[in-house]
Chains A and B, each alone.
Chain A
Amino acid sequence: MTEKPDGQAFEAVFSNDTAELSEIREFVREKAQGLGFSEEELYQIQLAVDEACANVMEHAYPPGMANPGLHLAVQVEYDRFTIVIADRGLTFDPNLIAPPDLAEYLAEYRVGGLGIYLMRTLMDQVDYNIQPGVKNEVRLTKYLATE
């Protein structure tokens, strides 16, 4: 049995540019690797983080608004891997975003609106901490198999 790291924390700030997404995915993979996640789970964690960050890049900062970028914090605990993505842009109410009706979505060849659904489906837990005018945080958690 390999000993899992516990209580480690990492932080990084990325500019609000979609060109950063590949670096963000690498950052997250590097921190999640070796903890016991399968290759498929690593892919899913990267995808969920990508979707969360792409949402911020696309929606949080309209042109002209001060843009301090997005802040990523990774926490490794014995039973979970958590990524917190924080921005100071426009706020939104995550409770107003209903999951898409996939049958209808596909039948109508709709485009867009799958990012939050993917995050919620690929991760074990998705929580929001929205403080209008202060910060928006989305916390993505994937649990590790524990013996």
Chain B
Amino acid sequence: MAAACSTEEGGFLETYKQQVETLGDLTIVRPSGFIDAHTAPELERALNNLVSERRFKVILDCQLMDYISSAGLGVLMGAISTYRQNQGDLKIAQMPAKVFKVFDLLGFSKLFEVFDTKEEAIAAFREGSA
């Protein structure tokens, strides 16, 4: 499943796209590009779709994420809250340093589990820490 969001008619300039991959009971969401007030609804739709599918164990693989504004952080906050209420979690992997710095500044790194690699995030779910 992949979706893209364009900032110019005809999709000439693509600033955001995402991929969703299923791995057993885990789901890996890979946002790519810039998450701002314009593109955050696209990520929100993907994360909300998982709620309808009752898939609450999710890894956000941020390797290709260039940018996230407060609009995107709000989407992550809404999702982690719902997932945890359903015995799941939203774990973060491979967040670029400049993005993490702002994430950390806001204290989000205290609320979200953040891992250097996707494999570590998968292992954390497998070890049953939700």
Contacts and interface: CB of A to CB of B under 8 A. Distances in A.
B70 A51 contact: yes
Contacts of A22: 7, 13, 15, 34, 36, 38
A46 B102 CA distance: 12
A58 interface: yes
A47 interface: yes
Interface string A104-138: 01100111101101100110000000000000000
Contacts, number: 77
A114 B38 contact: no
Contacts of B73: 114
A75 interface: no
Nearest to A117: B106
Interface stretch (B45-53, B57-65, B107-115, B117-125): B107-115
Nearest to B5: A19
B70 A114 contact: yes
Interface stretch (A36-44, A66-74, A78-86, A90-98): A36-44
Nearest to B111: A106
Interface residues of B, number: 28
22 contacts: A21-B69, A22-B15, A23-B7, A25-B67, A40-B98, A47-B102, A54-B37, A54-B69, A54-B70, A54-B71, A102-B106, A105-B107, A106-B107, A106-B110, A109-B78, A109-B81, A111-B74, A111-B78, A112-B74, A114-B73, A118-B70, A118-B106
Shortest Cβ-Cβ A-B pairs, 9 listed: A18-B38, A109-B81, A54-B37, A114-B70, A111-B74, A18-B37, A102-B107, A43-B98, A21-B36
Given A18-B37, A22-B13, 19 more contacts: A19-B38, A21-B7, A21-B36, A21-B69, A22-B36, A22-B38, A46-B67, A47-B69, A54-B36, A54-B70, A102-B106, A102-B107, A103-B107, A110-B77, A111-B74, A114-B73, A115-B70, A118-B70, A122-B102
